Amino acid sequence: MARIEMRLNGRKITSTSQLQRELTRSMEKQVEDGLRKAAGPSVRMKKTREGYTFEGTPEQIERMKKRLR
């Protein structure tokens, strides 16, 4: 049986479950980084079980919504 090894983000992957886990982790990190960047330094971001919550003034939240479009 042939064995395939590959690297994704510096981690060695040898099975399909590891590949799935790493791709999911990478995707979630990209989403979180994008939200954090759109929120900016003035909006507080919390990760919850249901997703993310943001706290700030209404103007800050509107500015963040425009950046996400």
List, in order, residues 6 or more apart from 19 with CB less than 8 Å away: 6, 8, 13
pLDDT band for position 1 (cuts 50, 70, 90)? low
By C-alpha distance, which of 59, 57, 52 is closest to 36? 52
Half-sphere exposure of 2 (CA within 13 A, CB side): 2
SS3 label, residue 21: helix
Q: Domain count for the chain, please give it.
A: 1
Whether 40 maps to a domain, the answer reads yes
What domain range is 46 assigned to? Answer: 6-68
- Is residue 1 domain-resident? no
pLDDT digits (tens, 9 = 90+) for 42-52: 899 999 999 99
Note whether residue 50 is domain-resident: yes
Residue 69 has pLDDT above 90, yes or no: no
Is 35 within a domain? yes
Check pLDDT > 90 for residue 59.
Answer: yes
Residue 48 lies in a domain: yes
pTM score, whole prediction: 0.75
